Structure 1
Amino acid sequence: MHYEGSMIRPPSEANSILLQATVGCSHRKCTFCGAYRGQRFKIKKDEIIFKDIDFASKYCRNQNRLFICDGDALIMPQRRLVPILEAIGKKLPWVERVGVYANTKSIRMKTEEELKELRKLGLKIAYMGLETGDDVTLKKINKGADSQRMVGMGRKIRGAGIKLSITVLLGLAGAERSEIHARETGRVLSAIDPEYVGALSLMLVPGTPLHKDYEEGRFDLISPEQMLVELGTMIATSHLTNGLFHANHASNYVPIRARLPRDREKTLELITRALKGKVALKPEYMRAL
Structure 2
Amino acid sequence: MDYQGDIIRPPSEAFSLILQVTTGCSHNRCTFCGAYRNKPFQIKPWKQIEADLDFAATWCGRHTTLFLADGDALALPHALLTTLLLRIREKLPWIRRVSSYATCQNIMVKSDEQLRCYKQWGLSRLYMGLESGHDPTLTAIAKGVDSEAMITAGQLVRAAGIFLSVTCLLGIAGATLSQEHAQATAEVLSRMQPHQIAVLTLMPLENTPLYRQIRAGRFILPNPVQLFEELRRLLADLAPFRTQFHANHASNYFALSGRLPKDKDVMLATIDQALAGLVPLKPEPCRGL
- What TM-score do you get using the length of structure 2 for normalisation? 0.99
Mapped contact 1:194–1:240 kept (Cα < 8 A):
no
- Paired with 1:241 and 1:121, the residues of 2 have a C-alpha distance of 28
Matches within 5 A, 1:10-89: 10-89=10-89
Q: 1:3 to 1:240 in 2, by over 3 A?
A: farther
Q: Quote the offset at 1:207 in angstroms.
A: 2.0
User: 5+ residue gaps in structure 2?
Assistant: none
- Paired with 1:196 and 1:35, the residues of 2 have a C-alpha distance of 23
Q: 1:240 to 1:109 in 2, by over 3 A?
A: farther
- Paired with 2:59 and 2:231, the residues of 1 have a C-alpha distance of 41
- Paired with 2:78 and 2:9, the residues of 1 have a C-alpha distance of 22
Mapped contact 1:57–1:92 kept (Cα < 8 A):
yes
Paired letter, 1:98: V
SS of 1:200's partner is strand
- Paired with 1:285 and 1:7, the residues of 2 have a C-alpha distance of 22
SS of 1:145's partner is coil
- Paired with 2:108 and 2:174, the residues of 1 have a C-alpha distance of 30
Q: Quote the offset at 1:5 in angstroms.
A: 1.7
SS of 1:172's partner is coil
- Paired with 1:56 and 1:237, the residues of 2 have a C-alpha distance of 44
- The corresponding residue for 1:286 is 286
CA deviation map 1:62-121 (0-9, x unaligned)? 110000001011010011111111111111111110001111111111110000000000
> How many residue pairs get matched?
289
- Paired with 1:65 and 1:39, the residues of 2 have a C-alpha distance of 26
Q: Quote the offset at 1:238 in angstroms.
A: 1.6
- Paired with 1:49 and 1:177, the residues of 2 have a C-alpha distance of 44
- The corresponding residue for 2:274 is 274
Paired letter, 1:8: I
Paired letter, 2:269: E
- The corresponding residue for 1:239 is 239
User: 5+ residue gaps in structure 1?
Assistant: none
- Paired with 1:44 and 1:99, the residues of 2 have a C-alpha distance of 18
Q: Quote the offset at 1:240 in angstroms.
A: 4.9
- The corresponding residue for 1:146 is 146
Q: Quote the offset at 1:241 in angstroms.
A: 2.2
- The corresponding residue for 1:219 is 219
- Paired with 1:4 and 1:78, the residues of 2 have a C-alpha distance of 23
Q: 1:135 to 1:161 in 2, by over 3 A?
A: same
CA deviation map 1:134-157 (0-9, x unaligned)? 000000000011000000011011
Paired letter, 1:140: A
